[in-house]
Structure formats: C-alpha cells, structure tokens
Amino acid sequence: MTFKPLIQKKANPAEVNVETERASLLKAERDFLKAAQTDGIVKAFSKHSTQDSRLHRNGAQPILGEAEIVTFLAKTSFTPTWQPMFADVAQSGDLGYTYGNYEVKESNAPNAITDKGYYARVWKRGANNKWFVVLDTSSPLPPEQK
C-alpha cells in the first residue's frame, strides 16, 4: 500500500503570508470545535485527522492514527468545548500549532463539568490546503477543592 504525501508544499516559502496562514489555522481550529459540538468528537476527529495523527491523554498510552483515535473516542461520552488562546504557523506555511483552554462535560449530565485544563495541537497542511491535526495533547487541571 502506498500513501500520498500529506504535506502540500508551497511553491516559494518566501511568498507565504504568515498572518494569513495563522488566520487560516485559527479558522480550522474553530471549524474543528464546531464539528465536535455539532457532530460529536468522533466525527470531528475523523474529519480532521490522518493515519499520522497522535492523541495523548493522561492515563493512556499515546493513540496513533485516525482509526485508533476514533475507536478510543467512541468509548467516551462527553461534549468538549475549547477556546484557542494562540496559534502560530511556520514560515513555510505547512506546519502550525494552537493552544488554549478546554472543558469537558459528560453527555448524560451536560451541566456537570468533569474536566478542565489546557490543550495543544500541532497541525499539518494537507491536500487542498486543508489543515489536519497531527498531535492533540491535553494537560488537565487538578480537581477543584471544595
């Protein structure tokens, strides 16, 4: 089996407008969130990941590849929300990252926040200039003391 290269290189990196690419990446991040809230996190990851993607979560070994990520997430029932705080893109325009804060609520108890913290995502430009998540990691905050 042969794979097509994921990265679609720009003709001349000097011609890349980093601000425009950063805005494009933030739009991809927001589209990812909208898909997660509308269609569920499983479908969102299915649309925004590749066979090279990695998902890192506390208490679990790294999950590698779109199929494994989707299988892992299908075992959960939660609704995520997140707010990007920053994004940046390489001068080449084919690699970028975002980070921000997140909250997770159980789907069967939508008012109960079960997890809060910060996330970071690494994105790679793919075919048709679409951004794909290649690394998603989170750092949960300690449980609140009552």
d(CA 4, CA 100): 31
Asked whether residue 8 is assigned to any structural domain, the reply reads no
Q: Quick check: 72 and 63 in contact, CB under 8 A?
A: yes
Asked whether residue 114 is assigned to any structural domain, the reply reads yes
pTM for this prediction? 0.83
Enclosing domain of residue 75: 16-139
pLDDT in tens, the chain (146 residues): 444 455 555 445 567 899 999 999 999 999 999 999 899 899 999 999 999 999 999 889 999 999 999 999 998 878 788 999 999 999 999 999 999 999 988 766 656 667 899 999 999 999 889 999 999 999 999 887 65
CA distances from 47 to 50, 51, 58, 81, 111 (A): 8, 12, 23, 17, 27
d(CA 26, CA 86): 8
Asked whether residue 2 is assigned to any structural domain, the reply reads no
Number of structural domains (the chain) is 1
Give the contacts of 126 (CB within 8 A, at least 6 positions apart): 6, 7, 8, 50, 132
Asked whether residue 3 is assigned to any structural domain, the reply reads no
CATH number at residue 80: 3.10.450.50
